[in-house]
Amino acid sequence: MAKPETRLGLVRRARRMNRILADTYPDAHCELDFGSPLELLVATILSAQCTDKRVNMVTPILFAKYPTVEDYAAADRTEMEEIIKSTGFFRAKTNSIIGMAQAVCDQHGGVVPDKLKDLVKLPGVGRKTANVVLGNAFGVPGLTVDTHFQRLVRRFGWTDETDPVKIEHIVGELIPKREWTVFSHRVIWHGRRICHSRKPACGVCPLAALCPSFGTGPTGADEARKLVRSGPFS
């Protein structure tokens, strides 16, 4: 029977996996198109239960019609719903975007805040959305614990937690803080391209030797290679 992994062993393995992911995805980045913190915040709200590709098709129209946070705050609900309808859950997303904009105007002088404690108080903004904005618009390190991230760190054997906040803190103790944002992108890219939910491409996975879940998907290179996808994704 193999010995249980020590804490030091886990930290070393996690950081080796991060280095491999860095080599595998040197261009990993946020796949939502944006030009400002406000645009990224809106795009991230729209990305819930929707692909980045679809969001990026909608946002040029949205950003052109509502160039300022004041424009979003005063938006006609029916018009906004029509623009974002194809992203799904458009009524709830319209509520969140208009409510977020009104709160930014009323509470932050029309400027998207750059602190987690302020962002998560905005309508429609949870920790995941806040960390996306902090990391990619403000350069503040943050872990984006989306469904891909949760699935992969459990497969990696880093944690068996299912609560996103607990996962965020656990992984934050394994990976250097300065790398949190880009590490999130690496993991998400890997989850979208190779480590799929139902049938991961184990046979061509660069992390195979370090992953306790190797064998969850096909281990033969030829079969696994057929499962590899290219982006952008949800």
Let me know if 106 is a catalytic residue: no
d(Cα 63, Cα 54) in Å, to the nearest integer?
Answer: 15
Would 7-28+143-225 and 37-137 be classified into the same CATH topology?
no
Q: What angle do CA 46, 40, 42 make, to 5 degrees?
A: 40
What are the CB-based long-range contacts (under 8 Å, 24+) for 44-50? 44/129, 44/132, 44/133, 45/93, 45/96, 45/97, 45/100, 45/124, 45/125, 45/129, 46/84, 46/87, 46/93, 46/97, 47/87, 47/234, 48/89, 48/93, 49/88, 49/89, 50/87, 50/88, 50/234
The active-site residue out of 128, 166, 222, 226 is 128
Residue 132 φ/ψ, nearest 5 degrees: -60, -50
Which pLDDT score, from 0 to 100, does residue 3 have? 81
Does the structural domain 7-28+143-225 have CATH classification 1.10.1670.10?
yes
Let me know if 146 is a catalytic residue: yes
CATH number for the segment(s) 37-137 = 1.10.340.30
Which pLDDT score, from 0 to 100, does residue 231 have? 61
d(Cα 85, Cα 82) in Å, to the nearest integer?
Answer: 5
Which pLDDT score, from 0 to 100, does residue 230 have? 79
Nearest to 219 by CA among 204, 199, 198, 197: 204
The active-site residue out of 33, 65, 117, 146 is 146
Tokens of 188: 């998400």
> pLDDT tens track of the chain, all 234 residues?
568 899 999 999 999 999 999 999 999 999 999 999 999 999 999 999 999 999 999 999 999 999 999 999 999 999 999 999 999 999 999 999 999 999 999 999 999 999 999 999 999 999 999 999 999 999 999 999 998 999 999 999 999 999 999 999 999 999 999 999 999 999 999 999 999 999 999 999 999 999 999 999 999 999 999 999 976 544
- Domain residue ranges of the chain, discontinuous segments joined by +: 7-28+143-225, 37-137
